[in-house]
Structure 1
């Protein structure tokens, strides 16, 4: 009888990064700020996923050509991912169908599979309350292909630089020959972020990487990314921004995560850095629930406002960014806490009982 495999070393600071990244996305969606703070969170989250998932695959040897019955461990990997991710996701689909959300009723199969990123590319517009599901679809497609890609590349840094370059070239070629619209929702367009995370897993202890692991370089990297956004929009070149922002942002996220990984006490269960604070740890643990429900709540809120208030000015006041954030933030945290306590935590315990050996 096999014993459950212990997880990789838990780093509270990375859980804090997850909390901040998810809430950057949420606040960006709720407030609709002109500056793409939501993209900062999404890029960081994808790079972090590449870092963590690559570490699991290499440690547990669940890629082709690994020693032993790698295909059995691969099956366990998929089971663990499905148990942790899909039941909460399907629960939100049920809620969305009851609201009802039109896109779910018109195209249910795309969400059940799940392939909403391909649906939104096909429709060339977002669905009401479900537009954020494209990132979850990309994440799940990434889980499917990444073990096989790592079986081909091994732990050679050059290969992941090549994957990142290929992702950029895919966006350029697809935009030139097909269309730049919604190209960023396709999995090949996102591989530069995942590859950057895998690259960080390989080189995180390299002396040169340690030299860049400084807070000032984190600030400068994101300022450069923001400067690129400003330059492309002032030059009326939004298509250029769409083509390059994830690649440039991946570099900023690489430096950010390098800094976090080299913080003092980064590996301690209770670090002293603000990223290891109790609040961020609590939010980070419930970040999946926050993300799942965050676009449905504004839909419900908007319908309530339109039912309660008849005057257009009053509706606009209540639907402006500040009231929306102040009212929905505690509601979302309560929903995420309930989801974690009654649903996600039991699933997490069930997942951890599955052994790779």
Structure 2
């Protein structure tokens, strides 16, 4: 059963909702009688603004956290369960705004220091415990290659900027295969805290306008207009950014704050207006739950989100809250205010904090991206028990004993908690640095030269280079200099070698072409070539529009046309080396076979003009796909462990579009170095004491460079013509 679900960016982190910990039981203190007189007459005794306890909101929190649990246990059962985050944002905005309104009315001002002290008291104790325990557990339960990234995310989570880190990583192609972090779910807490740097200022200014009764209506309009402006501006930003670049848009505060503002606007409106008819409240509450359920059932990882799609769960949550208390038979209020629902709401914050690290650790121990049914049930039970224990041992004592009530105590706790988590992260990073410190020795680290010897894997007495923990850093130089990101369409290239070189060579394709640059640069230096590199992430060298993140990758097609124009009219290389991942799919093809054939056809349409312009096209067969994060497997087991081996039959695809295109192009050459990766019927992770892969399908730069002699020998026929 798939637990990670759809990701909104390469290496997409999972969509995780956030349960707001405003109180264990959702309570809003009553306003003074004068302030509530108009509200009570409009909405009756069921108004959310006039009741001290809102059990239906507590139950709504249970619904939202239930959505995410089902989603993460098996996202096929509830593919849109990630919309729980939107429900929680609305609840949070409503509760916080209601408290700000009450404080402004009762005290004539809004104390920012008291507001932030309250936030620290409600948020940090449980969050700090979970971060600290998770950081320590990661030492023992997660593979060493993850330590550096987890250390970074621990710090980002402790300082509530995890969402900004994930937004940045979402546009980083190199993070595409990064395993899920056990603390990445703190992104939604970060969004809230960033929102609450701004939101209280509206009400602090509103309270300063004065409290004379004849000004009350005007002041309400002012704060409603200000809150509405935030809502509309953020919604527009969300729609525009989600359409343009959905991966980072998923995490950014400017695309999410309208959801919190929607709850805030609702709180302001309910101080003046309400729904008097019981039947209308009954219908509105069920309609709200239906909207939430419909979105959870019909949305998926392919739904552009947040954008306008988030309006469905946001309006659904707002409808449930606005309906308030009503007691007809079979009411949504009766369901949400039941004892089980209230218990779910009581532990929802702690349950949100715990469930994701428990899932990540369970997946790591199983060395899988999925959990079977019984394991999924065990994860849920463990998460609930941890959440209940945290509520009893951490959250309740802080509330009952009046801890962290002063601004000074709250600030001291916040600093201390951040330092503790930071020290744990620093310890992880120190261990990572120690494990990665392996020096390259050309006598020991021979790579493919060991193939055919009695010890092809290398001696277990020698260290592997690069170290598995540093494999993701063993990259071709093009990633620092000229690897084009997916959204880039303007030409970006690297050029190596002397201007006066007699031979010009070009390299085109995606990251599976870029991985050959270390070997080709070595050959070019030996031969005195001028080498031009045109590499674009996830962009196969074809005129066929391929798919990226569920939609047509138009930037790739435009890039390839630009590259072609330069190659045929300006550079005119003697040889064009090209390679692409067999994992690419055509955007409009019905089947996999049709997809590969369409991509091959698009390749032929590029190769023909190159050959007509005098260039020799040399296609390099794609490298093995292991289906395993190889560095993590090697760090957990050993270089010769069967768990880290890949069957040769599974490692290569016969539907490589380049092979299909070359079969129909008698002038194109094909380089097949399959024998340099596999020994008999298996492809090992380490050859000649050198780690072959930096993830599941990309070569380390070291192993690629050591393949230069084999690459040159295999390409001899094409190179003889130079």
TM-score range, shorter chain: 0.7 to 0.9
2:237 is matched with which residue?
A: 170
Q: CA deviation at 1:122?
A: 1.1
Change (3 A) 1:36 1:198: farther
Kindly indicate whether the alpha-carbon contact (under 8 Å) linking 1:80 and 1:351 is maintained by their aligned counterparts in 2. no
Matches within 5 A, 1:18-57: 18-33=61-76, 35-57=78-100
Decide which of 56, 64, 67 is 2:108's aligned counterpart: 67
In terms of fraction of residues, the more strand-rich structure is: 2
Structure 1 stretches of 5 or more lacking a match? 1-5, 266-270, 307-314
Relative to the length of structure 2, the TM-score reads 0.41
**Is 1:11 matched with 2:54?**
yes
- For this pair of structures, how many residues does the alignment match? 323
For residues 313-332 of structure 1, the C-alpha deviation after alignment (integer angstroms, 9 at most, x for no partner) is: xx78x813x32332122211
2:529 is matched with which residue?
A: none
Kindly indicate whether the alpha-carbon contact (under 8 Å) linking 2:182 and 2:361 is maintained by their aligned counterparts in 1. no
Q: CA deviation at 1:163?
A: 2.4
Kindly indicate whether the alpha-carbon contact (under 8 Å) linking 2:80 and 2:297 is maintained by their aligned counterparts in 1. no
Question: In terms of mean alpha carbon deviation, does 113-122 or 198-207 score higher?
Answer: 198-207
2:371 is matched with which residue?
A: 319
Decide which of 149, 173, 193 is 2:259's aligned counterpart: 193
**Is 1:155 matched with 2:201?**
no
1:309 is matched with which residue?
A: none
For residues 260-299 of structure 1, the C-alpha deviation after alignment (integer angstroms, 9 at most, x for no partner) is: x13239xxxxx98232222222221111110101111112
Relative to the length of structure 1, the TM-score reads 0.78
Decide which of 324, 330, 354 is 1:293's aligned counterpart: 354
Q: CA deviation at 1:131?
A: 2.4
Aligned-partner SS, 1:182: helix
Q: Which has the larger radius of gyration?
A: 2
Change (3 A) 1:30 1:220: closer
Using the alignment, how far apart are the partners of 1:36 and 1:196 within structure 2? Answer: 25
Change (3 A) 1:140 1:91: same
Structure 2 stretches of 5 or more lacking a match? 1-26, 30-51, 207-218, 408-722
Using the alignment, how far apart are the partners of 2:342 and 2:56 within structure 1? Answer: 8
2:536 is matched with which residue?
A: none
1:115 is matched with which residue?
A: 161
1:202 is matched with which residue?
A: 268
Aligned-partner SS, 1:197: helix
1:95 is matched with which residue?
A: 133
Using the alignment, how far apart are the partners of 2:321 and 2:204 within structure 1? Answer: 25
For residues 14-63 of structure 1, the C-alpha deviation after alignment (integer angstroms, 9 at most, x for no partner) is: 11111221221222123223754433321111101111000001101299
Change (3 A) 1:336 1:117: same
2:288 is matched with which residue?
A: 218
Q: Point out which structure has higher relative CO (alpha carbons under 8 A, 6+ apart).
A: 1
Decide which of 320, 342, 345 is 2:396's aligned counterpart: 345
1:184 is matched with which residue?
A: 250
For residues 116-138 of structure 1, the C-alpha deviation after alignment (integer angstroms, 9 at most, x for no partner) is: 00110111168422221111111
Using the alignment, how far apart are the partners of 1:300 and 1:222 within structure 2? Answer: 30
